[in-house]
Structure 1
Amino acid sequence: MRLGIIGVGHLAGSLLAGVRRAGWAPDEVLLAPRGHGPELAGRFGHALARDNAEVVAVCDTVLLAVRPAHAMEAVAGLGWRSGQVLISACAGVPSGALAGAVAPARVVRIMPMTAAEFGASPTVVWPDEPAARPFLSAIGTAIPLASEADFETATVSAAVYGWAQELIARAVEWSAAQGLPEATARQLVAQTFAGAARMQAESAAPMRQLLAELVTPGGITEAGLEHLRDAGALEAWDGACAVVLERLRGAT
């Protein structure tokens, strides 16, 4: 498999780090020449295309990672052919619009996260396309979905990923302000989030049961949750998810 990448920005840099970590050879990836393409090609030995058209001409699988507003212009008129697959990482850009621009190539939508750099991206994908699996396996765990509507809902998790980073940063900064060494606090808080995630991902117990077992009456977890509820923080979280989903649906 040779993967071409159109849109070599921050996200693509993380994805490239992931495939290198997974053992892909530099020449298995062809980069478009804009953005960080020249820099990453020079640093890691990836081939650099003359333009987007060369990426499409050379590669059977092409990843699109441009800003959503630029997606259509980035792929239009490039000589797509039957048997090719466009993997779009552009949030809110529907497959139908892309399909018209890249016909007769097939379109797959994904939403990776920058944890791909460490092979740890939970990446939602629709539809489940065999040609995309080697790439998705290299950057983490693929989560196939049954419909494009499910994909839009699942894409909210990409925003949640950013909010989790904010929560981690705030907890670290608060702990440091109380005198805990920042490096210690960063490892503690990050591993706390990772541990909570593993409990939910790997335990067979219902999610709410796991939480209930932690909330000892009169204990510290209960006290903190009651404060969050009284402040409306949990309802605000639900509202933030709704805002993101509305924006994704509006983009379609």
Structure 2
Amino acid sequence: MKLGVIGVGHLAGAVLKGLLNGGVAAGDVCLSPRGRGPEMAERFGFGLAEDNAALVEACDVVLLAVRPGDAAEVVRGLPWREGQVLMSACAGVRIERLAEASAPAEVVRVMPITASELGASPTIVYPMRPEVAPYLEAIGTPIPLESEEQFETATVSAAVYGWAQAMIRTGTEWGIANGLDPAAARQLMARTFVASGRIQGEQDAPMDDILASLCTPGGITEAGLRHIEAEGVPEAWAGACDLVLRKLRGQA
């Protein structure tokens, strides 16, 4: 099976590195000749198509990672065929819109994040198909969803990924300002977020119970959480999620 990539930018670059690290052979991947395609092909040994039509002709699965507003027109008129899968990573672009432009190929929506490069992307997918599973497993953990409406809601996590990094930066800067070595502060804050995610993701106990177990009455965790709640941070966080979802649905 051969994978093609149309739209070789920052996100696709991270995915491509993750695929290599996850055992996908460079020779089994073909890149569009635009964007970072020539550079990535020369550097890592990926194939480089003459144009997008040649790429579609040569590949079984095609990852589309272009600007959402360009997605339908980029795939329109290409030589799609029965049995192909168009795997779209274009936020907010619904299957119906792409299916019309890429018939008779099947359309799957995915949303990887740049942690794909490390094999650490929790990648949402709808609908899951066997052809895309090996690629998603190479870059992290596939999270299949049951409807396109669920997919839109889950896509908000791609924004949360950035917000979490901003919080890590804030914590790091606070630590440095209070005397920590910059490298130690960065590693401490980053690894603390990783540890928090693993505890919640890998244990079966209710999320509230896990948090409660950390909040000793009168202790530092409880005191900090009370301050955060008093400042309206949880409500602001939920509001930001609402804003992003409206934007994905074209309502903002």
Q: Do residues 27 (structure 1) and 27 (structure 2) align?
A: yes
Tell me the residue number matched to 1:124.
124
Q: Over residues 118-159 of structure 1, what are the superposed CA-to-partner deviations in whole Å (9 max), with x where a residue is unaligned?
A: 111000000011110111111111110000000001111111
Q: Do residues 163 (structure 1) and 163 (structure 2) align?
A: yes
Identity level (%)? 61
Q: Hey, which bits of structure 1, 4+ residues long, moved more than 6 A?
A: none
**Matched position secondary structure for 2:132:** helix
- Equivalences for residues 62-73 of structure 1 within 5 A: 62-73=62-73
- Equivalences for residues 1-252 of structure 1 within 5 A: 1-250=1-250
By how many angstroms is 1:13 displaced?
0.5
Q: Over residues 87-137 of structure 1, what are the superposed CA-to-partner deviations in whole Å (9 max), with x where a residue is unaligned?
A: 000000000000000000000000101111011100000001111011111
1:175–1:185: 8 Å Cα contact kept in structure 2?
A: yes
Q: What amino acid is aligned across from residue 116 of structure 1 in structure 2?
A: S
By how many angstroms is 1:70 displaced?
1.1
Name the count of aligned residue pairs: 252
Is there any run of 5+ residues in structure 2 with no aligned partner, and where?
none
By how many angstroms is 1:177 displaced?
1.2
TM-score when normalising by structure 1: 0.98
Q: 1:111 to 1:162 in 2, by over 3 A?
A: same
**Matched position secondary structure for 1:99:** helix
By how many angstroms is 1:251 displaced?
6.9
Q: Over residues 20-39 of structure 1, what are the superposed CA-to-partner deviations in whole Å (9 max), with x where a residue is unaligned?
A: 10122211110001111111
Is there any run of 5+ residues in structure 1 with no aligned partner, and where?
none
Alpha-carbon RMSD: 1.1
1:92–1:251: 8 Å Cα contact kept in structure 2?
A: no
**Matched position secondary structure for 1:122:** strand
TM-score when normalising by structure 2: 0.98
Q: What amino acid is aligned across from residue 47 of structure 2 in structure 1?
A: A
